[in-house]
Amino acid sequence: MAGHDSGSILVFAQFQSAVDEGFWHRLSSLKLNKLGIDESPIPITGYYAPCSHPQVSNHLTLLAQSLPSESNEQSSAAAMSRGNRNRCPIRGTLYNTNTIESFHKLDKKSLLRVEAKKIWDDIHTGRAVEDSALLSRFLLISFADLKKWNFHYWFAFPVLVLDPPATLVDLMPASQYFSLEEAESVSAACNEWRNSSLTADVPFFLVSTDPNSHATVKHLKDWETCQSDGHKLLFGFYDPCHLPHNPGWPLRNYLALICVRWNLKSVRFLCYRESRGFADLGSSLVGEALITVPQGWRDHQSLPNAVGWEHNKGRQVPRSISLAKSMDPTRLAISAADLNLKLMRWRALPSLNLNAMSSIKCLLLGAGTLGCQVARMLMAWGVRKITLLDNGRVAMSNPLRQSLYTLDDCLNGGEFKATAAVKSLTRIFPAVDAEGVVMAIPMPGHPVSSQEEDSVLEDCRRLHDLIDSHEAVFLLTDTRESRWLPTLLCANTNKITITAALGFDSFLVMRHGAGPFVSSHDFNVEAANALSAVENIAQADKDERQRLGCYFCNDVVAPIDSTANRTLDQQCTVTRPGLAPIASALAVELLVGILHHPLGIYAEGEVANSLTSESSERPLGVLPHQIRGSLSQFSQMALVGHSSNSCTACCSTVVSEYRERGMEFIIQAINHPTYLEDLTGLTELMRSASAFKLDWDNETDLDEDDYVDI
Amino acid sequence: MDISSWDGTISLAEFHAAACALVEKWKKVSSASPPWSWVSCPKQPWVASHEVSVEGYLSLENIILVSIKEEHDELPSFPQKEETSCSDKEESIDIATLVQGQSDHDEICYYDLHIVYSAPYRVPVLYFRVYYSDGEPLQFEDIKKHLPAHSAKTLLDSKWTFITQEEHPYLNRPWYKLHPCGTGEWMKLLFQGDVSLARNGAAIEVYLISWLSFVGQVVGLRIPYEMLNQL
């Protein structure tokens, strides 16, 4: 057809979208609480304002309030919030799907046409002249994955396509176009328009300049009057775009309106932009466009072509955003927990080694009163890898003193403690890596029949492997003899071992010394295991720095069956309730102390007040060997005990016997209680003791009964 | 206010008064910069309060941070797989649409600043967040990269500045904040150190502005010089 050669095609900059996090939060909440699987379109409101930055375009923004509220008093027609000068409200429609497949399957072409038709209708009926913001209607399709907190979405800003496209006669900064007086007057008029609450959010307007260079800004519906005035007329609009050579997207439908309603073929337009809250005629543009009205456009019924899907980095694809970090409760819990520990480090203990805590693997033997509390304390310190071993089930009396269990765990015979504990820990802190092992610990003095032997051996091996795969072991069982095998295994592999034991109103918390077969200067546990026993047998005796003792080092008898021949109340858990939490807390603090001591497991035992000056290397203070406390006195002592060469659990004789004979040795110890005493020479020692009157005073307050514990 | 016995903290009512003073001064002195506004929050019914609607916070939003050209890796760690690349001809190419370069939008981020009163510490706290135009929040490491050079240095060197991520008390979403535990101390130091401040009876109005002048440095917010001069 009679094409215009003069002038190039008018090229528009696309509208850009911006979605505030709050919008997705609100949509998630709406979906969960109100919409459910309902996929019907939702009326929403977008906001934009004229460009106010020379390098950055303004965006069509969605906020939390863009969505209807959840309450039912909401009227169905989008109750558009009254905007302000920074937020011109624009009507939009949201199609939110329930699956990613249906998101991709949406018929985008037809959805676009539906919105375009609304604009087309508004133009033809004249509604768009009354409420010009309707010209910028938009469309949003989305899929909200509420399990992973990912949001897929795609905006469309439908525009009616002129065919042939409009051409540009000229385009220049407004300051160039207007005379000085005109410019001043136009600025003033625009500022007035922008400052009045009645017009601040009306994005399309007319600028009429009389022969005296006096400009006024008018509503679109005043066009007829302006026509008859014969004054210079400019079609102005809030331009979100910042580019110096291209007008923004709203101009497209504006031109469509102008040519359909007012039949103009040449249009002078003003791309209104601002700076610092005022009209900026330097960045605002004035241009002239030539339109060839397409044939079909007279006819309301025939809808022109529409385009407008937003480009994503130059491509026509949807966008997505992941808000897991700010919405996923587990992640929020993790960062809150980390914050707490970091605060501690920042404010009080700069040398706190939080990495050591989060990477250490702890094995808790016993998931009872002590086990539950120790597990909780470990988590509070940032320990994430916890394994609990216990073969018992949760009994009705347990939840009161065993802090991980509730009544539900007791029903139907009771859940296995190890399993229930893990569930409970995960409920408290989802990021914990907790494992439960249901198993009994083989004990000396509890002989096994030959049928049971295989399964007992299996348990021994399993225990050996568990201890091997963890770095710290807590002995929290309810009998002395159940601590024997773990102590031996830990001494053999040189693991950090912490024992807690309760009497009726007294407790003992201690860390075992290093095993007998590792050189004091070797801190590498794996290397220690690799050393051959033979090579180092003599080491222990020659070692100047005597190692600290284990739980059994102070015994003069081997562990025997302490549960037989005891009265009911001695068999049951009879301790003052306050003891377990105190002892558990101390046990964990002791572990933390070890982890922060430069010598770790080889650290000497210290007593209270032994550090003379504040040492930055010792941020946590003294590191005792044993803490013995008494509730009846409300007192506590830090003591040191060295290893005994006749210890039934950790002396070199016993450990090397284990290394040589393995399970055979274990079974023998289990079935013949005096075997250990004979092996270590304790039997001999006892005989000679009765011959001389040796003073065992420092052990008298620790007879058998005091070791009855949980 | 007797500086010597003062511990550097203020009450909620004083915060509100100081906030209003700041909003006014800012408007007068610096119409060029985007304005601070007070966002009033409905009282939580379970908080006993005899104060009349002083609950709220100061807000400065949508400040544009245009970063200098730098290596910008693909935004979300979230993998962008199968965008069923649009079925043939979703939309015919429209010659009237400007095709924009891809990198341009990515480096632009926005930040919001909120000044909220902390009841336990009795001082103002700066909450902030930084995000791309698609709403994706920046991680703290990236925020540091976008800060002007001297701010980043202040942040790292100063023992008073400790950034943590916590729930915004009114919006219930995680925002970064400058932890308030040191604030009382350094506010006291600030006031003691400046003779005119120490003598000035109108200390409360000045409190927030002084606080902001220090804290603002951390996030690269420039306080117009005139604000400080009008003390």
pLDDT for A251-303, tens place per residue? 999 999 999 999 898 999 999 999 888 899 999 999 999 998 888 888 888 88
pLDDT of residue B79: 37
Q: Which residue of A has its CA nearest to B74?
A: A313
Q: Residue B55: in which H helix or E strand, if any?
A: none
**Domain extent listing, chain A:** 8-158+313-322, 167-303, 350-556+606-687
Region A348-367: mean pLDDT is: 91
Using CA atoms of A608, A611, A614, A617 in order, give the dihedral in degrees to the nearest 10. -110
Task: Kindly tell me if the per-residue pLDDT of A347 is higher than 90.
Answer: no
pLDDT for B40-83, tens place per residue? 876 655 555 555 567 888 888 888 876 654 444 444 333 333 34
CATH architecture, domain A8-158+313-322: 3-Layer(aba) Sandwich (3.40)
Nearest to B90 among A10, A309, A322 (CB): A309
Q: What is the mean pLDDT of chain B?
A: 71
Share of chain B above pLDDT 70, in %: 61
Nearest to A326 among B85, B102, B174 (CB): B174
Which B residues, 60 through 79, put their C-beta within 8 Å of a C-beta on chain A? Answer: 64, 66, 76-78
Which A residues, 320 through 379, put their C-beta within 8 Å of a C-beta on chain B? Answer: 320-326, 332, 335-336, 339, 342-343, 346-347
Q: What is the mean pLDDT of chain A?
A: 85
pLDDT of residue B30: 66
Q: Does A309 touch chain B (CB under 8 A)?
A: yes
**Inter-chain residue contact A165 with B96, CB threshold 8 Å:** yes
Task: Kindly tell me if the per-residue pLDDT of A521 is higher than 80.
Answer: no
Q: Which of A630, A589, A368, A632 is nearest to A507 (CA)?
A: A630
Rg, Å, chain A Cα set? 41
Nearest Cα of chain B lies from the Cα of A9 at a distance, in angstroms, of 7
**Inter-chain residue contact B96 with A59, CB threshold 8 Å:** no
Confidence grade of residue A575 (pLDDT, cut at 50, 70, 90): confident
pLDDT of residue A544: 39
Give the integer Cα–Cα distance in Å for A493 and A472.
11
Confidence grade of residue A677 (pLDDT, cut at 50, 70, 90): confident
Nearest Cα of chain B lies from the Cα of A490 at a distance, in angstroms, of 40
pLDDT of residue A187: 94
Q: Are A42 and A1 in contact (CB under 8 A)?
A: no
Task: Kindly tell me if the per-residue pLDDT of A617 is higher than 70.
Answer: no
Q: Which residue of B has its CA nearest to A113?
A: B91
pLDDT of residue A255: 94
**Inter-chain residue contact B83 with A318, CB threshold 8 Å:** yes
Chain B residues lying within 8 Å of A336, measured CB to CB:
166
Angle between helices B203-218 and B12-29 (to 10 degrees): 70
Nearest Cα of chain B lies from the Cα of A598 at a distance, in angstroms, of 27
pLDDT of residue B180: 80
- Most confident listed range (A519-528, A698-707, B7-16): B7-16
pLDDT for A47-85, tens place per residue? 999 998 888 899 999 998 899 887 654 443 344 556 778
Confidence grade of residue A205 (pLDDT, cut at 50, 70, 90): very high
Q: Are A33 and A47 in contact (CB under 8 A)?
A: no
Task: Kindly tell me if the per-residue pLDDT of A682 is higher than 90.
Answer: no
**Inter-chain residue contact A14 with B133, CB threshold 8 Å:** no
**Inter-chain residue contact A161 with B96, CB threshold 8 Å:** yes
Nearest to B98 among A12, A55, A342 (CB): A12
Alpha-carbon A293 to chain mean position? 57
Residue of B75, B133, B163 to mutate for A, most A C-beta atoms under 10 A: B133
Chain B residues lying within 8 Å of A317, measured CB to CB:
83, 85-86
**Inter-chain residue contact A314 with B99, CB threshold 8 Å:** yes
Please report which residue ranges of A315-416 form alpha helices under DSSP H.
324-327, 329-347, 354-359, 369-380, 398-401, 407-410
pLDDT of residue A497: 96
Count how many pairs of residues, chain A against chain B, have C-beta atoms within 8 Å.
124
Q: Are A142 and A153 in contact (CB under 8 A)?
A: yes
Q: How many CB atoms lie within 10 A of CB A260?
A: 19
Confidence grade of residue A567 (pLDDT, cut at 50, 70, 90): very low
**Inter-chain residue contact B162 with A346, CB threshold 8 Å:** yes
Distances (CA, A) of A319 to A18, A103, A311, B97: 11, 12, 9, 19
pLDDT of residue B168: 85
- Specify the range with the lowest mean pLDDT, choosing from A209-213, A235-239, A537-541, B131-135: A537-541
pLDDT of residue B170: 85
Give the integer Cα–Cα distance in Å for A348 and A343.
8
Task: Kindly tell me if the per-residue pLDDT of B2 is higher than 90.
Answer: no
Q: Which residue has the higher pLDDT, A694 or B13?
A: B13
Q: Which of A243, A135, A43, A319 is nearest to B133 (CA)?
A: A319
Confidence grade of residue A21 (pLDDT, cut at 50, 70, 90): confident
pLDDT of residue B150: 65
The token pair at A594 is 């070890």
Q: Does B90 touch chain A (CB under 8 A)?
A: yes
Q: Are B138 and B96 in contact (CB under 8 A)?
A: no
pLDDT for A474-505, tens place per residue? 999 988 889 999 999 999 999 999 999 998 88
Q: Does B46 touch chain A (CB under 8 A)?
A: no
Share of chain B above pLDDT 90, in %: 2
CATH 3.40.140.100, domain A167-303, yes or no:
yes
Q: Does B153 touch chain A (CB under 8 A)?
A: no
**Inter-chain residue contact B99 with A311, CB threshold 8 Å:** yes
Give the active site residues of B. 181
Region B171-194: mean pLDDT is: 79
Task: Kindly tell me if the per-residue pLDDT of A96 is higher than 90.
Answer: yes
Torsion region of A673: left, alpha or beta (phi above 0 gives left; psi -120 to 50 gives alpha): alpha
Do domains A8-158+313-322 and A167-303 share one topology? The answer is yes
**Inter-chain residue contact A316 with B86, CB threshold 8 Å:** yes
Q: Does B133 touch chain A (CB under 8 A)?
A: yes
pLDDT of residue B164: 78
Nearest Cα of chain B lies from the Cα of A107 at a distance, in angstroms, of 9
Chain B residues lying within 8 Å of A24, measured CB to CB:
135
Find the angle CA(A7)-CA(A12)-CA(A16) to the nearest 5 degrees.
Answer: 170
Nearest Cα of chain B lies from the Cα of A117 at a distance, in angstroms, of 17
Confidence grade of residue B17 (pLDDT, cut at 50, 70, 90): confident
Residue of B74, B129, B156, B173 to mutate for A, most A C-beta atoms under 10 A: B173
Q: Are A59 and A249 in contact (CB under 8 A)?
A: no
Chain A residues lying within 8 Å of B178, measured CB to CB:
none
Q: Does B131 touch chain A (CB under 8 A)?
A: yes
Task: Kindly tell me if the per-residue pLDDT of B103 is higher than 80.
Answer: no
**Inter-chain residue contact B90 with A19, CB threshold 8 Å:** no
Chain B residues lying within 8 Å of A326, measured CB to CB:
137, 173-174
Chain B residues lying within 8 Å of A108, measured CB to CB:
86, 90-91
Region A90-113: mean pLDDT is: 93
Region B182-202: mean pLDDT is: 69
Give the active site residues of A. 572
Chain A residues lying within 8 Å of B160, measured CB to CB:
none
Stated pTM of the model: 0.69
Nearest to A10 among B64, B96, B165 (CB): B96
- Specify the range with the lowest mean pLDDT, choosing from A104-113, A604-613, A648-657: A604-613
**Inter-chain residue contact A12 with B92, CB threshold 8 Å:** no
Confidence grade of residue A582 (pLDDT, cut at 50, 70, 90): very high
pLDDT of residue A561: 59
**Inter-chain residue contact A53 with B64, CB threshold 8 Å:** yes
**Inter-chain residue contact B134 with A321, CB threshold 8 Å:** yes
Find the angle CA(A192)-CA(A197)-CA(A202) to the nearest 5 degrees.
Answer: 80
**Inter-chain residue contact B98 with A109, CB threshold 8 Å:** no
pLDDT of residue A541: 44
Give the integer Cα–Cα distance in Å for A152 and A102.
12
Chosen CATH of A350-556+606-687 out of 3.40.50.720, 3.90.1150.10, 1.10.3720.10, 3.30.465.10: 3.40.50.720
Nearest to A321 among B76, B99, B108 (CB): B76
**Inter-chain residue contact B137 with A16, CB threshold 8 Å:** no
Please give the ipTM for the structure prediction: 0.75
Task: Kindly tell me if the per-residue pLDDT of A143 is higher than 90.
Answer: yes
pLDDT of residue A89: 93
Give the integer Cα–Cα distance in Å for A22 and B62.
14
pLDDT of residue A77: 37
pLDDT of residue A704: 47
**Inter-chain residue contact A252 with B179, CB threshold 8 Å:** no
Residue of B91, B103, B143, B156 to mutate for A, most A C-beta atoms under 10 A: B91
